[in-house]
Chain A
Amino acid sequence: MGALSLKNLTIHYGRQPVVADFDLDIRDGEMVSLLGPSGAGKTTILKVVAGLLAPTRGAILIDGQAVTDLPPEKRDAVMIFQKPLLFPFMNVQQNIAFGLKMRGDSGDRRARAVAHILALTRLDGLGRRKVHELSGGQQQRVALARALVLEPAILLMDEPLSNLDANLRQEMRELILGIQSELGITTLFVTHDQAEALMMSQRVALLLEGRLRQVGSPRELYHRPADPDVARFFGGDNFIQGRMRDGVFETDFGPFPVEAVSGNGHRRTATIRPEDIQLVTDTGDQPDHLPGTVKRTRFEGMATRAWVSCPSGELVVLTPRSGLSAGQAVQLRLPPEKIRIFPD
C-alpha cells in the first residue's frame, strides 16, 4: 500500500546545505528509524518527505510514483511533529476528525472513524475533553490518532516521544509498535535516542551532519559500525591503529588474526566496544593479555567503566567486575573476533 523511496535528496536552507545525497528505501509496511544527533537534519528530511519543504535535488517516490512536486495536502503521507501541535480551539474529537473533515467525509463516517481510533490509541472517553486539559502523553496520543485516522500510506514521526518522561515513553513505544504492526503503515520514525532506535525498528538509518552514514539492522550498526564516527555515536571509545599483513592485523596492542585477508600492507583503524574487552585482576602473566593500570573508574549500575592505561595506549573497558580502584594493576584481553576493522 505504500513503499517509500527517497532518492539522492539534497536540501538547503537558503544557501546553507543541510542534507546531502540522502538515499533510503522503505518497504511497504516497514518501520525504519532515522537516527541522528540534534541538528543532523532529521526534521528537515521529514518535512521534505511530507512536502512542507522542497528539496534542492532528488526525488521522493511513493509506490514508485514521484510525488516530489506535489503539495503536502496531495501526498499520501502524514507527519507527526515533535510537539503535539493540537489545535487549541478544538476539542479532542474535533482535532482527530480534522483531516477527515478536510477530505469531505460525512459526519457519520467521521464519528465512526474517530470512535475506532480513540479506542486504538487508548483515549476512550476523552473525546470531548479540551486539549489543554490533557496530559503530555495524552496530547501526543491525540496527535498520533489525528494522523492515523487518515490511514495514510506513509506515516512520518518526528521524535514523538522526546517530550515525555521515561516511564511514559516506554508505554508509548509499545503502543506505537503495536498499532504500527496491526495497521501495517509504512513508517519513518525519527529519534535522537540510539536505544530507542534500536528497539523500535528492524532497520535503522544513521544520519550524521546531513549525511546518511549507515543503514542496517540494529545489531549491524551496533556491532559492525561502518566507520569510526558511527562507532563513536554508539559509544565505542576505543580506536586502534594498525597495519594489515598476511591475515594478521598488527597493532601496538598485539597482532590480531583476521578472517578476510585483504588490503595487505595498508594502514587501517579498528575498534572494540568497551564491554567486549575482558578484564582480569589476577596477577601472573598470560600470553595474550595486556598489562595495564586503572586510571579511574565510574560505577554505572549494571557495570563499571574503567579507563585503563596500557603501555601502548589507553582503553576504555566496561566490566561487570566490582571493586576496581585507581592505581590497580589489571590485565586486558581483546578477543580477536570482537575487533572490528573498518574498511578503508
Chain B
Amino acid sequence: MADPDAGRDARTRRAAGRGSLAVMLLPALMAVVGLFGGGLFLGILQGLGHLPGAGLSRLSATHFSRVWSDPDFLTSFGLTLYIAAVSTLVAAVISVVAALALSRLVNRYRAVHFVFQVPLTVPHLVIAVAVLFMISPAGLLARVAAAAGLIQAPADFPLLVNDRWSIGIILTYVWKEIPFITLMLLAVLQNAGRELLDVGRTLKADAWQRFRHIVLPTIFPALGAASLIVFAYTFGAFEVPYLLGRTYPMTLPVWAYKHYSDIDLLARPEGIATGILIAGMVAAAVVTAQALTRAARKKGIVL
C-alpha cells in the first residue's frame, strides 16, 4: 500500500503552473464537453424542433409537451422506475450480505474472489440471452418443472420473461450488478472495516451494534455510489428490456428508440426528446441523492 498521505503532502507543496494544468486537462475536457455536451445540446435543440437548414427561430416545446402528455409516457416511466428501483434494491441488499460473508471468506479462498469477478466482464446482452434460455416457457426451468411433473406443456409455466412483473429483466440486472456492488463494498471493508470492528468490540458493541454503527456507516458511501450507478444504468439501458420486456408497456429507453427509429420521421424528435428527458431524470436522481447525503452529513447524522 502506498502511503495515502504521501501524495497529499506533495500536492500541497507543489503548485503546477496554470498553463501546464490546462494542457493536461484540455484534451479530455474538450472531448467530454464536445462529444457528450455537444450530443446533449444538439439533442435538446432537436427535441425543441430544430431541423438542419432551418434556423433557431422556430424552436418550441411541442415535442416535449407531446411526449409529456402522452398517457403511455407515464406508464413507461412507472415501469422503468419500477425495474430500476427493484433491481437496485434487491442487488444492494444481497450485496451487503454477500460482502459481509465474503469478507471472512475471501482471504482464504482466492478462487471465490476470482469467480465473483466473472459477471463484471460479461456483457448484459449475453446474460439476457442466457436468462431467456433458462426461464422462458420452454426454457431450462420449465423443463425441470416438467420433469418434476409440475407442468405438462410450456403454456402451463408461469410467464417469467416478457412478463408483467419484468422478472427476467430484474433477474438479469441482479445477476450482473451484485458482483459490481459487492466488490466495491469488499474493497472498503477490507481496508478499514476489520480494525474498526475490533475497536467496536473492545468498546462493547455486540454483533448487531457493530453492523449497525460501524459496518453500515463504513460501507455507506461506497454502497450509495454503487447503487446510484446501478440505478442510473438500469434506468437508461436498452438491450435487456428490449429483449426480455413486454411489447406494451415499454421502458422509456425502448420507447425512445422506437420513436427515434420510426419510419414516420415526425416521430424522431419525440424520440430524441424522450432521450433528453431520461438523461434529465437520471441526472436529477443522482444530484438529489448526493444533496440529501450531504445535508444529512452536515447535520451530523451518521448514516
Which residues of A are in contact with B by a Cβ distance under 8 Å? Answer: 47, 50-52, 71-73, 77-79, 81, 83, 85, 87-91, 94, 98-99, 101-103, 128, 146-147, 150
Report the Cα distance A299→B95, complex, angstroms: 62
The A-contacting residues of B in range 161-213, CB under 8 angstroms, are 192, 195-196, 198-206, 209, 213
Q: What separation, in Å, do the CA atoms of A103 and B214 have in the docked complex? A: 15
- In the complex, the answer to whether A150 meets B196 with C-beta atoms within 8 Å is no
Asked if residues B203 and A85 are in contact (CB atoms below 8 Å), the reply is no
A78 to B205, CA, bound (A): 12
B140 to chain A, nearest CB (A): 43
Known: A83-B195, A87-B196, A87-B217. A52 touches B201 (CB 8 A): yes
| 20 further interface pairs, Cβ-Cβ under 8 Å (given A52-B201, A72-B201) | A47-B198, A52-B202, A72-B198, A73-B206, A77-B202, A78-B203, A79-B198, A79-B202, A81-B195, A85-B195, A85-B199, A87-B199, A89-B303, A90-B217, A94-B302, A99-B203, A102-B203, A102-B204, A146-B203, A150-B203
Would you give the shortest CB distance from B220 to chain A, in whole angstroms? 8
- Most chain A beta-carbon neighbours within 10 Å: one of B204, B218, B302: B204
**B71 interface contact, C-beta 8 A:** no
Chain B residues, CB < 8 A from A71:
201
- In the assembled complex, 27 residue pairs joining A and B whose CB atoms fall closer than 8 Å, in A order, are A50-B201, A51-B202, A71-B201, A72-B201, A72-B204, A73-B202, A73-B204, A73-B206, A77-B202, A78-B202, A78-B203, A79-B202, A81-B198, A85-B196, A87-B196, A90-B217, A90-B302, A91-B300, A98-B200, A98-B203, A98-B213, A102-B200, A102-B204, A102-B205, A102-B209, A103-B204, A128-B300
Provide the residues of chain A in CB contact with B195, threshold 8 Å.
81, 83, 85
Residues of chain A lying within 8 A (CB to CB) of residue B201: 50-52, 71-73
Q: Which residues on the A side are within 8 Å of B198 (C-beta)?
A: 47, 52, 72, 79, 81
Q: Which residues of A contact B202 (CB under 8 A)?
A: 50-52, 72-73, 77-79, 147
Of all chain A residues, the one with the shortest Cβ separation from B217 is: A89
Residues in B whose Cβ lies below 8 Å from that of A88 = 192
Query: When the two chains form the complex, which single residue of B192, B205, B218 contacts A73, counting CB atoms closer than 8 Å?
Result: B205
Closest to A81 in B: B199
Hey, which chain A residues are within 8 Å of B303, CB to CB? 89
Taking the nearest CB of chain B, how far is it from the CB of A60, in angstroms? 14
Task: Kindly identify, within residues 216 to 233 of chain B, every residue whose CB is under 8 Å from any CB belonging to chain A.
Answer: 217-218, 220
Tell me which residues across on chain B come within 8 A of A147, comparing CB atoms: 202-203
Please, which residues of chain B bring their CB within 8 A of the CB of A87? Answer: 196, 199, 214, 217
Alpha-carbon distance between A199 and B88 when the two chains are bound, in angstroms = 58
Residues in A whose Cβ lies below 8 Å from that of B300: 91, 94, 128
Could you tell me the distance between the alpha carbons of A51 and B201 in the complex, rounded to whole angstroms?
A: 9
A147 to B202, CA, bound (A): 9
Q: Provide the residues of chain A in CB contact with B200, threshold 8 Å.
A: 98, 102
- Beta-carbon nearest neighbor of B218 in chain A: A89
Q: How far is the CA of A324 from the CA of B105 in the complex (A)?
A: 63
**A90-B302, A94-B302 known; A102 vs B213 contact (CB < 8 Å):** yes
**Across the two chains, which residue of chain B brings its CB closest to A99?**
B203
Give complex CA distance A112, B280 in Å. Answer: 49
Bound-complex Cα distance A90 to B196 (A): 12
Residues of A within 8 Å of B302, CB to CB, are 89-90, 94
Distance, CA A91 to CA B302, complexed state (A): 9
Q: Which of B196, B203, B206, B300 has the most CB of A within 10 A?
A: B203
- The contact of B204 among A81, A91, A99, by CB within 8 Å, is A99
Alpha-carbon separation in the docked complex, A52 to B218 (Å): 20
* Chain B residues within 8 Å of A89, by CB: 217-218, 220, 302-303
Report chain A residues within 8 Å CB of B204.
72-73, 99, 102-103, 150
Q: Which 7 A-B pairs have the closest CB atoms?
A: A99-B203, A72-B201, A89-B217, A102-B205, A79-B202, A73-B204, A85-B199
Which B residues touch A50, using CB under 8 A? 201-202
Closest to B209 in A: A102
Q: How many Å from the CB of B272 to the closest CB on chain A?
A: 43
Least CB distance, A125 to chain B, in whole angstroms: 17
Bound Cα distance from A173 to B286, whole angstroms: 49
Please, how many angstroms separate the alpha-carbon atoms of A283 and B99 in the complex?
Answer: 78
List chain A residues, Cβ under 8 A from B205: 73, 98-99, 102
Q: What residue in chain B is nearest A93 (Cβ atoms)?
A: B300
